[in-house]
Amino acid sequence: MPDPASRLGLGLAAIARPAYITSGRAERLGADRDVETLRARTHELLDAGHAAGIRYLDVARSYGRAEEFLAGWLAAHPEIDDVEIGSKWGYRYVGEWRMDADRHEIKDHSLDAFTEQYALTGQLLGDRLGIYHVHSATPATGVLDDARVHRALAHLRDRGIRVGISTSGPEQADAVRRALDVRVGGEPLFTSFQSTWNPLEPSAGPALAEAADAGARVIVKEVFANGRLAPGGDAAAVALADRLGLPADQLAVAAALANPWAWRVLLGPVDTAQLASNVAGAARTVPAGAADELTALAEPAEAYWAARSARPWS
């Protein structure tokens, strides 16, 4: 039987920059968030994740120094050749390693942005890059209709790099379906989808199932709803987890893995204890009788994303 952790991925969004929106993160990280401290903590997580059986690693140009930290870890472990790496372009990190930055990232889905950011990704990750996503593609940014960007991405596809999109916001399902229709040279362009799905925000589920049926990979992100589906998070979710006899984060992982269309479920811990608890969720199952209670946790997508946009960086 495959190791349950083999269906998990490790994302560095919350550990490779000093500020992020996940609740509870500040207490776990403390005040010491200089570059070298977070580099060391990132390497500890990567070590622990690999030991636990995780083989998919997720970074992005906007995740502070995530690509740099990952590249350093790979260089320090030349014996590790069994991991697949995905990164993303389309946001720039502009926080300057400050907690009080007015803005931490800026979206730009132009061809110039792709050209610049892919060059930087290539310098750090080289031929280790396996998947390159458009970061938070939405119908409004125009990237799903931009033929020049599509042709540039097709060059990556034709060289063996899987091309995809990540999605955010209440129109995730629309973005997934529109991306599935994009073809360059008669072949599908986007064959990887990294989308938010969790019991509070399951609206993209049907579209993601369609993507998997079409042969694409589906990577589930924000399974913990930025800390809301974790110990100390939303009262209703924590109460349900308590009744089922497992921590809220493990219930969230088990619920995500129950989706047959999920290729990988991303974790985003900031320390090894949090990682260990998250990983343990892969061996859990959601009791059949709890399905209706999980479904009842769902919020309207517009309300969920409005609340997420209002979360403070800390």
- Percent over 90 (pLDDT), the chain: 97
Question: Pairing mode, if any, of strands 162-167 and 192-196?
Answer: parallel
Q: Is the model's pLDDT at 299 over the cut of 90?
A: yes
The predicted structure's pLDDT at residue 4: 84
Q: Is the model's pLDDT at 241 over the cut of 80?
A: yes
CB 83 within 8 A of CB 57: yes
Identify the band that residue 289 occupies on the pLDDT scale cut at 50, 70 and 90: confident
**159-177: pLDDT as tens digits:** 999 999 999 999 999 999 9
Pair of tokens at residue 240: 């349900």
Cα atoms in the 13 Å half-sphere on the side-chain side of 262: 26
**Which residues touch 187 (CB under 8 Å, ≥6 apart)?**
157
Mean pLDDT of 245-273: 97
Mean pLDDT of 109-134: 98
The predicted structure's pLDDT at residue 288: 85
The DSSP line for 59-113 is --TTSTTHHHHHHHHHHH-TT----EEEEEESEEE-STT-TT-S-SEEE--SHHH
The predicted structure's pLDDT at residue 3: 86
Q: Is the model's pLDDT at 1 over the cut of 70?
A: no
Which H or E run includes 38? helix 35-52
The predicted structure's pLDDT at residue 68: 98
Mean pLDDT of the chain: 97
Distance CA(148)–CA(125), nearest Å, equals: 24
Mean pLDDT of 61-79: 98
pTM of the model: 0.97
Distance CA(276)–CA(280), nearest Å, equals: 6
**26-61: pLDDT as tens digits:** 999 999 999 999 999 999 999 999 999 999 999 999
